[in-house]
Amino acid sequence: MKISIPENILSIKPYKPGKPLEELEREYGIAKSIKLASNENPLGPSPMAVKAMQEALGKLNRYPDGSGFDLIRKLSQHLKVPPKNIVLGNGSDDIIGMLTLALLRPGDEVVLPQPSFLMYDIMVRSAAAIPVTVPLSSLSIDLKGMQAEITSRTRMVFLCNPNNPTGTVIFKKDFENFMAGLSPEVVVVVDEAYFEFIRDQEKCASGIEYLDEDKPLVTLRTFSKAYGLAGLRIGYGIMPEKIAGLLNRVRQPFNTSSLAQIGAKAALDDKAFLKKTLEITHKGLDYLHAALDRLGIKYFPTQTNFFLIDVEKDADEIFESMLRHGVIVRSMKSYGYPQYIRINVGLAEENARFIEALEKII
């Protein structure tokens, strides 16, 4: 083929998702394997969401409400934010894509923490903009280091709070200092995919509290993690009306499906499911940490449903050995941590199986 391929596209490393269970079972001929690799909700989807979607199946011949009126109104009540400040996405990944498409010109710089969520780098490069990465400091986002990289060419900054893959948070005071020192021309995107899991909520700032029509601040949330709807693909952004208007120019008219809108709306009412999710997450973390302490294996504290473990061996090899025990974890080698793995909390029996397998391997 003789097509000319843009350099920015060639520079993208394709996203490697966590290994699906079905793939592992096919390749290794094992049954009853468990996946602790993609920070998914081990309880399954919110039952109220499932019920609402089942009842709506008969209307799938119709296009969705492209404006997402009902879900946006529900979110508006839930978050105490006007509907005009909310944009829905086919997962929060979709909002990241809309932001980079609508707001970046080729050659613009975007400051990113590293390691962090890989979609920022992919979307920035897709827009022919230039990622400027700032290493974490003690696994936390280095706000001062990021500030130091901001120049007249910087158009956007991504923060991930809590940060994936390290589980660390940005504290309120540090966030406020960062925002105060920032040029009003730089768009700040705060990705809060795991905000619901934070145990020290009062010390942590949500971008939503700082929503201001005059400040280019965008906060991202998702139904993929705490609400157990990763397969449904629905997330949202909270932003000034002006930025929402720009996103609505590039947004595909039916970017969120009718089932996704209906499921997400019902999930917001499913308080019991969210409560149960937080309970098993926090209990599971306590169990896993105690078990790792007993085994003398080092791990890092977290404010999310996942955390890093220092296996003191090649993480890719540990990943492979765990697969043979039917447990999927995530190697952090490609993230720059050659001896760390990341796992998320599973059901009690899954957590126990992980510990059992790790004990055998290490």
Ligand X SMILES: *Cc1c(COP(=O)(O)O)cnc(C)c1O
Instruction: Pick the closer one to ligand X by CB: 227 or 299.
Output: 227
> Binding to ligand X by residue 93, rule CB under 6 A?
yes
Would you count residue 222 as binding ligand X (CB under 6 A)?
yes
**Binding status of residue 121 toward ligand X by CB under 6 A:** no
> Per CB under 6 A, does 193 bind ligand X?
yes
| Residue 217 binds ligand X (CB under 6 A) | no
Nearer to ligand X, 302 or 321 (CB): 302
State in angstroms the smallest separation of the CB of 119 from ligand X. 7
Q: Can you tell me which of 33, 46, 85, 92 binds ligand X, judged by CB under 6 A?
A: 92
Which of 125, 147, 118, 122 lies closest to 134 in space, CA to CA? 147
Using CB under 6 A as the binding rule, whether residue 206 contacts ligand X is answered as no
Residue 213 corresponds to which amino acid?
E
Asked whether position 235 contacts ligand X by CB under 6 A, the answer is yes
Cα-based angle 318, 324, 328 (whole degrees, multiple of 5): 65
Q: Does 281 bind ligand X (CB under 6 A)?
A: no
Q: Which residue of 41, 49, 100, 117 would you call a contact of ligand X, by CB under 6 A? A: 117
Is residue 237 within the footprint of ligand X (CB under 6 A)?
no
Which residues lie closer than 8 Å to 122 by C-beta, 6 or more apart? 12, 13, 15
Residue with smaller CB distance to ligand X, 304 or 321: 304
Instruction: Select from 87-95, 97-105, 180-188, 195-203 the region that touches ligand X (CB under 6 A).
Output: 87-95
Residue number closest to ligand X, CB atom: 91
Kindly list the distances between the CA atom of residue 14 and the CA atoms of 118, 121, 125, 310, in Å, as whole numbers in the listed order.
Answer: 9, 10, 11, 26
Count residues binding ligand X (CB under 6 A). 14
**Angle CA 143–90–170, to nearest 5:** 15
The interface mask with ligand X, positions 122-161, x = CB under 6 A, is --------------------------------------x-
Q: Is 164 in the site for ligand X (CB under 6 A)?
A: yes
Question: Any long-range contacts for 140-149 (C-beta under 8 Å, 24+ apart)?
Answer: 140/166, 140/168, 140/169, 140/170, 141/113, 141/116, 141/168, 141/170, 142/113, 143/170, 143/174, 143/175, 143/177, 143/178, 146/111, 146/113, 146/178, 147/178, 147/181, 147/182, 149/111
For residue 155, CA distances in Å to 33, 133, 305 come to 44, 14, 31
Q: Does 91 bind ligand X (CB under 6 A)?
A: yes
SS3 content of the chain, % helix, strand, coil (to 5): 45, 15, 40
Task: Verify binding: residue 230, ligand X, rule CB under 6 A.
Answer: yes
Q: In terms of C-beta density within 10 A (0-12 exposed, 13-18 middle, 19 or more buried), how is residue 22 classed?
A: exposed
Find the part of the chain contacting ligand X (CB under 6 A) among 64-72, 90-98, 148-156, 318-326. Answer: 90-98
Q: How far is the CB of 209 from ligand X (least distance, A)?
A: 19
R_g of the chain, CA atoms, integer Å:
21
Q: How far is the CB of 293 from ligand X (least distance, A)?
A: 26
Rounded to 5 degrees, φ, ψ at 115 are -80, 150
Q: How far apart are CA 245 and CA 234, in angstroms?
A: 19
Letters for 20-59 (x = contact with ligand X by CB under 6 A, - = none) are -------------------x--------------------
C-alpha 298/C-alpha 7 separation (Å) is 41
Residue 196 interacting with ligand X (CB under 6 A): no
Distance CA(244)–CA(250), nearest Å, equals 10
Closest CB 125 distance from ligand X, rounded Å = 17
Please identify, using beta-carbon distances, which residue of 92 and 154 lies nearer to ligand X. 92
Q: Which residues of the shown chain bind ligand X in the complex (CB under 6 A)?
A: 39, 91-93, 117, 160, 164, 191, 193, 222, 224-225, 230, 235
